[in-house]
Each structure stands twice: as structure tokens, then as C-alpha cells.
Homo-oligomer: A and B are copies of this chain.
Amino acid sequence: MFSDKEKISRLLSYKNLLYRFKSLGFVRVFSDNLADTLGVSSSLIRKDFSYFGIKGNQRGGYHIDTVIEKIQEIIGFNEAQKVILIGVGHIGKALIQYEGFRNDNIAIVAGFDIDRNKTNEKSNPPILHTEKLGEYISKNKIKVAILAVPGPVSQSVIELLRESKIEGILNFTPLKLKSTDNLVVRNINIKVELANLIYSVKH
């Protein structure tokens, strides 16, 4: 419950909510406002805020703009996050076009594919051939890659990413990867999630 991962997930929910409050005309909020909307206790919110050094006003409540700015800073999203995408299939394309990343200053700066019919250096972002992957990573100091290649080729791409000293992989392939000291992996297996859901509904 108090792992860093969950804390960061909560910070992101707070931030999304704060944007919504702000669009309603709010200038400041109270931990109870956030608690009610999220269905958690207000003490948890105050604990999270205090853990990350987010301070309230003297007169009570939190100034929305200050909190949003502080959260962006904590997550490291005050500066642009450059991410590459490997595998420009259906899921890959959807991720490139996903608007949500932009709000959080995340930019997919290049896509890579083994299929030369998909490569296009002039598109935005450019889609390059996989043979340029290692060079691109070191030249642009890329640390995080999204992996959306088909199952059978994923192992070879992963080896290449390891050699290129990538530090984080968001893995959409069916192959479940384990994190190591030098590489953090998050696996998103849509089929397994859906299969689990169908199984739960049936039983």
C-alpha cells in the first residue's frame, strides 16, 4: 500500500483531479475534497503530500497551481521525457497518436520497425529501421523504450536494448520480462488481463 509505485500512481490521480477542479474554477482544495472524489481517507492524502514535501497554506487547504507544479517536478515531468517506441504495429501506432502523453510532457521521439514499408524519416516522430536502434539510443541518451513488437521477435530486441543500456522498458509483448538491477520493466499484457477478467466473470 505504501510502495513508491503506488504513491506515484496516487500523485498522478491527484494531479488529474486537480486539473479537473481547476477547470471548475477552484483555486485551492482541501484534502477532504480529494479524499471524497477518490474514495480514500483524507489522512492518506495529507500523508502523501507531506512525504513529498507538498505544503498546505497557513489558512488551510492547498493552492492548486502550486501542488500541480510540485507534482510535475516530483515525477520529473517538468522537463520533457524522451521515449522511443519499438514496433509500429496497431498498438504502436495507437501509442504514437495517444494525446494523453503530451499533457504529461512525455514525447515519443522516434519509432522503430524492421519493416521498411513502415519506416519514414520525415514523419513526426520519425520511424526508423531497427538497425539504427543502438546508435539512436546512445546518441540521444534515451533511457526508456516502449516495446510493442510481435512475440517471436521480442527476445532479440530485448537483448539489443540491454546492450544499448536502456534503463526502462514498458513491455506490451506477450513475453513476461523481469526487472534487473540495471533495467526496470513494466509488463502490460492486454490478452492476459482480458483472459483473467473473462475467467473472473465466469467463476
Please tell me if the beta carbons of A195 and B5 are within 8 angstroms of each other in the complex: no
Q: How many copies does the complex hold?
A: 2
Please tell me if the beta carbons of A198 and B81 are within 8 angstroms of each other in the complex: yes
- Per-residue CB contact flags for chain A residues 89-132 toward chain B (1 = under 8 Å, else 0) read 01101110110110010100000000000000000000000000
Size band of the interface chain A makes with B: 35 or more
Please tell me if the beta carbons of A195 and B12 are within 8 angstroms of each other in the complex: yes
Picked from B9, B90, B188, the residue with its CB within 8 Å of the CB of A94 is B90
A61 interfacial contact with B, CB 8 Å: no
Please tell me if the beta carbons of B195 and A188 are within 8 angstroms of each other in the complex: no
26 A-B contacts (beta carbon < 8 Å)? A4-B199, A4-B203, A8-B196, A8-B199, A9-B196, A12-B191, A13-B176, A16-B174, A75-B195, A77-B195, A91-B94, A93-B94, A101-B194, A104-B195, A106-B195, A106-B198, A144-B194, A144-B197, A144-B198, A146-B194, A167-B201, A168-B200, A170-B197, A186-B193, A186-B194, A186-B196
